């Protein structure tokens, strides 16, 4: 729960902060108006023959504005129609069904892909992250290159205590 805007940040065990003051950046992202959901697109780039509609979904790591009654109603409807699918995939399936096009038209601008967090499916390095966006502060993904932790420790501000 971040501030009075009733925003939650979801993380998983494989989310790694890669920049000092990452929490400040998270709070900055959370403070923006009008969105319901902010999250990352999948990285790295896949070959065309590997891409399916599933790969377009917004990963579950990110921000959710649960203080919005309309968004909560949408979440309930998505769960009712796609309750067996992972929740990030279920959002995508629901919003991209032709019968829900009118909902997507009205609310697509509330679902924002963002670079403050990247979702990686590969063994990644800080150079890989910076090649996508130098503004990324969190990475959700598979195994980071071991140099990532050494680099993060080297940039940590004195007395920062890990955040």
Distance (Å, whole) CA 139 – CA 22: 11
* Main-chain dihedrals φ then ψ at residue 131, nearest 5 degrees: -65, -30
Please give the residue that has the higher pLDDT: either 70 or 53: 70
Distance of CA 42 to the CA centre of its chain: 9
pLDDT tens by residue, 96-155: 999 999 999 999 999 999 999 999 988 888 999 999 999 999 999 877 777 776 766 666
- The pTM score is 0.81
pLDDT band at 54 (very low <50, low <70, confident <90, very high): confident
pLDDT band at 27 (very low <50, low <70, confident <90, very high): very high
Residue 15 sits at the vertex; the CA angle it makes with 13 and 17, to the nearest 5 degrees, is: 135
Inter-residue contact 128 to 105 (CB < 8 Å)? no
Write down the pLDDT at residue 121.
86
Reply yes or no on whether the pLDDT at 51 is more than 80.
Answer: no
Distance (Å, whole) CA 83 – CA 102: 21
DSSP 3-state of 106: helix
pLDDT tens by residue, 73-87: 999 999 999 989 888
pLDDT band at 156 (very low <50, low <70, confident <90, very high): low
What H or E segment, with its residue span, contains residue 43?
strand 42-43
Tokens of 153: 């420790």
């Amino acid at each position: 729960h971040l501030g009075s805007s009733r925003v939650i940040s979801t993380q998983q065990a494989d989310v790694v902060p890669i920049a000092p003051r990452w929490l400040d950046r998270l709070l900055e992202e959370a403070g923006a108006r009008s969105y319901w959901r902010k999250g990352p697109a999948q990285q790295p780039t896949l070959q065309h023959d590997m891409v399916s509609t599933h790969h377009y979904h917004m990963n579950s790591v990110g921000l959710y504005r649960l203080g919005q009654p309309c968004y909560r109603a949408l979440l309930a409807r998505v769960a009712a129609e796609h309750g067996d699918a992972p929740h990030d995939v279920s959002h995508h399936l629901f919003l991209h069904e032709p019968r829900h096009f009118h909902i997507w038209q009205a609310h697509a601008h509330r679902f924002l892909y963002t670079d403050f967090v990247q979702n990686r499916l590969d063994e990644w390095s800080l150079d890989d992250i910076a090649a996508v966006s130098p503004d990324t502060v969190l990475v959700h993904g598979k195994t980071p290159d071991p140099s990532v932790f050494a680099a993060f420790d080297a940039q940590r501000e004195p007395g920062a205590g890990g955040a």
